A and B are shown apart, each in its own frame.
Chain A
Amino acid sequence: MDETATRRRFLGRLSLALSGLAGAVVAVPILAYLLSPLIHPAPRLWRDVGRLDDFKIGETREVAIYDPSSLPWAGQTALTAVWVRRLGEDAFTAFAVNCTHLGCPVNWQAGAGLFLCPCHGGVYYADGRVAGGPPPKPLPRYTVRVQNGIVQVQTQPLPIVS
């Protein structure tokens, strides 16, 4: 191969390599920026949802908790709804509102003592067990505790990951 051909091939490859390098330099921060939800997991925080005597024993009530890493412009979507059921004096259970089928919002039907899902008709008992319909698993739970007469629910990722 003569000298001009080698030189041309070298220059061609050099140009491609330099352009690739420049692309990579720009791509790294952009990718890191876009993938940041994976890099910084949100902290798990306790959120007050009411005083102990706001909840009657045997009653299931909807409460809302603030997301741990909410942004100032999140508005109403900074909230997550949770079903809280008082079982006894200090005993509570808290359920996600998301049906385990496809994540639609389950509604507590106090008369029937059941959670009903309006999307595909999933039904759960008061303790979260599946009572009928397509849901593959019981309603996911949130961690709930009572501290100094205040009921608190712990934030967690949207419980739809199987």
Chain B
Amino acid sequence: MIKQLYRWLDDRLGLSSAIMPVVEHPVPRSINWWYVLGSATLVAFTVQVVTGVALAFSYVPAPNSAYESLTFITHAAVLGKVVRGIHYYGSSAMVVLISLHLARTFLMGSFKFPRELNWLSGVFLFALTLGMAFTGQLLRWNQDAYWAVVVGAAQAARTPLVGEWLVQLLLAGQTVGGATLTRFYATHVFLLPAAMFGLIAVHLYLIVRHGISEPPRAGWPVDRARYREWYDRLLHEEGVPFWPDAAWRDVVFALAVGAVVVALSILVGPAELGERADPTNLRAYPRPDWYFLWYFALLSLIPPATESVVIIGFPTLIGAILLILPFVAPAGERSPRRRPWAVASIGLSALAIAVLLREGIEAPWSPDLNPPRVPVALVAGLGQPAERGLMLFQAKDCVSCHMLGGAGGRRGPDLDGVGARLSRDQLTWRILYGGNGMPAYGQSLTPEETGDLVELLAAQGTRPGRR
């Protein structure tokens, strides 16, 4: 009976004649654990789609309710915290996995002939994944999201010629308002996923059409005239069926990643939403999610004069490099052992991102708008001018940018020990005329106040400075 049903289904669906040959298509026997990243990205995408659909059952994409609906999902809905948590950590997993997959494909030269279009479709999927990450964090409609829209628009505004149009299309108007959020919502849940479904189909089709690239061996360059024939023979002589000989690793790895994501969402939970989006609440410290934080750090560390060029030029340059890569280097050595520049560029990129990420987390360039109090013990026995100086140091917000006695911002130099570095005249000059990023305080301090501050700082010579 069951056999009969299976035979009927098999006949009508073509399971064994059309589907199984694809599932069991031969792959090189030597493929290894480096090959699990792409399928894990696909699994992460699938999980994002499923949890995203679940979230959409409760999420209200209107500025006056979006934040409240997410608060409901996170704190009131049954297991809503876990669903949102999986979506939250799943997005990080997907960004990490697709980045690693891209790096792996580049390092092993898998983008070379005849797999140029595999690479290109993958590059577009990578860009779309970043687009999903950006639009997704906006849907929280908290303060970070609101100001991320503004910061995103400010960057788009720097595009030559069409900057103003781009901003208005991004905001769906001339300011952030009722139409903005639905624009990002539709983009996040319909537009980008639809494009990704299409591109994933193309990507998978191309993988089956050209076969999974064999792990490279040094001294075995790709020769366009003979590669296909050689690869077919390789599969014929020592190929194994993808399912299950290769697929088991994909399953194990995807399950491991999934276990981490689920564990994080249960044990740690999704990030708190923070304050709701409010354009009139200016006590905001907008920060992007970690996967864009390194870029945020880059923009604060480059010279201001180069900013417009970098903001537009950097993403364009990276995109252009990725797109022309398979046409610049379509043949030749694939092994990383014979491509030191490929290894170096990935290594340097990873290092740069790690360093920038660390800087972005610490953000030493940001003044502290709610600065701590400098310990009063600092002026003990220094006399009244220094005591008044300390009060001014607090009242005039010097402490927002400068550390003194271990308390304060890190935008400017730590002033512990400044009395040993600078004379009274130099201190007075710096305070009155500023420079090097410091505002001139000449107009907001009386001569007596300046004198008091100098008195305070000149006394900071006995302790050695910490930076």
Q: Are A75 and B62 in contact (CB under 8 A)?
A: yes
- B178, B278, B440: most-surrounded residue (chain A CB, <10 A): B178
Q: Known interface pairs A75-B63, A103-B154. Does A161 touch B167 (Cβ–Cβ under 8 Å)?
A: yes
Determine whether the beta carbon of A109 is less than 8 Å from that of B397: yes
Q: Is the beta-carbon distance between A111 and B396 smaller than 8 angstroms?
A: yes
Q: Does A29 reach chain B (CB closer than 8 Å)? A: no
A104/B150 contact (C-beta < 8 A), A109-B400, A121-B365 known: yes
**Which residues between 118 and 162 of chain A lie within 8 Å of chain B, taking CB atoms?**
118-121, 123, 125, 131-136, 156-158, 160-162
Tell me, rounded to whole Å, the shortest Cβ–Cβ distance linking A97 to chain B: 6
Main SS of the interface on chain B?
A: loop
Check B395–A111 contact: CB distance below 8 A: yes
Count chain A residues whose beta carbon lies closer than 8 angstroms to a beta carbon of B: 56
Q: Which residues of A contact B164 (CB under 8 A)?
A: 161
Cβ of A19 within 8 Å of any chain B Cβ, yes or no, is no
Judge whether B313 is part of the interface by a CB distance below 8 angstroms. no
A111, B398: Cα distance in complex, Å: 10
Q: Mark B136-166, 1 if CB is under 8 A from A, else 0.
A: 0000000000110011011101100001110
Q: Are the CB atoms of B369 and A80 closer together than 8 Å?
A: no
A64's partner among B174, B279, B437 (CB-CB below 8 A) is: B279
Interface presence of A90 (CB below 8 A): no
A59 in the interface (beta carbon within 8 A):
no
Instruction: Please indicate the chain A residues that have their CB under 8 angstroms from the CB of B439 in the complex.
Output: 112, 114, 123, 125, 131-132
| Known pairs A74-B177, A113-B444, A118-B366; A131 contacts B434 (CB<8 A) | yes
Instruction: Enumerate chain B residues within 8 angstroms of A135, measured Cβ to Cβ.
Output: 304
Query: Is A93's beta carbon under 8 Å from chain B?
Result: no
Contact B174 A79 (CB under 8 A): no
A71 and B178 within 8 A (CB): yes
Query: DSSP class of A's interface residues: helix, strand, loop or mixed?
Result: loop
Contact digits for B261-287, partner A, Cβ 8 Å, 1 yes 0 no = 000000000000000111110111110
Among residues of B, the one whose C-beta sits closest to the C-beta of A73 is B62
Query: Provided the pairs A64-B280, A103-B150 are in contact, do residues A73 and B63 lie with their beta carbons within 8 angstroms?
Result: yes
Q: Which partner residue on chain B sits nearest A83 by CB separation?
A: B282
Query: What residues of chain B lie closer than 8 Å to A114, measured between beta carbons?
Result: 397, 439, 444
B283 neighbours in A (Cβ, 8 Å): 107
Select from chain B the residue with minimum beta-carbon distance to A109: B397
Query: Which chain A positions have C-beta within 8 A of B444?
Result: 112-114
Cross-interface CB contact of A158 among B62, B175, B179, cutoff 8 Å: B175
CB distance B64 to A134 under 8 Å? no
Is residue A70 contacting chain B, with contact meaning CB distance below 8 A?
yes
A112 to B177, CA, bound (A): 32
What's the nearest-Cβ distance from chain A to residue B374, in Å? Answer: 14
Which B residues between 11 and 66 are near A, CB-CB below 8 angstroms? 62-65
- Interface contact B168-A37, CB-CB below 8 Å: yes
Task: Scan residues 89-120 of chain A and give those whose CB is less than 8 A from a CB of chain B.
Answer: 97-98, 101-107, 109, 111-114, 116-120
Instruction: Kindly list chain B residues whose C-beta atoms are within 8 Å of the C-beta of A28.
Output: none
Please report the C-alpha to C-alpha distance between residue A112 and residue B171 in the assembled complex, in whole angstroms.
34
Interface residues of B in 77-91 (CB under 8 A from A): none
Chain B residues with Cβ under 8 A from A14's Cβ?
Answer: none
Residues in B neighbouring A74, C-beta threshold 8 A: 63-64, 177-178
Minimum Cβ distance to chain A for residue B76 (Å): 20
A136 to B309, CA, bound (A): 13
Known: A42-B174, A107-B283; 9 extra A-B contacts, CB below 8 A, are A74-B178, A75-B65, A76-B277, A81-B279, A107-B282, A112-B397, A132-B436, A157-B174, A160-B154
Q: Can you pick out 30 interface pairs between chain A and chain B where the beta carbons lie within 8 Å of each other?
A: A42-B174, A42-B175, A64-B280, A73-B178, A76-B63, A76-B279, A76-B280, A77-B181, A77-B277, A103-B150, A104-B284, A105-B284, A106-B282, A107-B283, A114-B439, A117-B367, A119-B285, A120-B366, A125-B439, A131-B434, A132-B436, A134-B304, A136-B307, A156-B174, A157-B175, A158-B150, A158-B174, A160-B153, A160-B157, A162-B157
A interface list, Cβ under 8 A from B: 34-35, 37-38, 41-42, 62, 64, 67, 69-81, 97-98, 101-107, 109, 111-114, 116-121, 123, 125, 131-136, 156-158, 160-162
Counting from the closest, the 5 A-B pairs by CB-CB distance are A75-B64, A71-B178, A74-B178, A131-B439, A103-B154
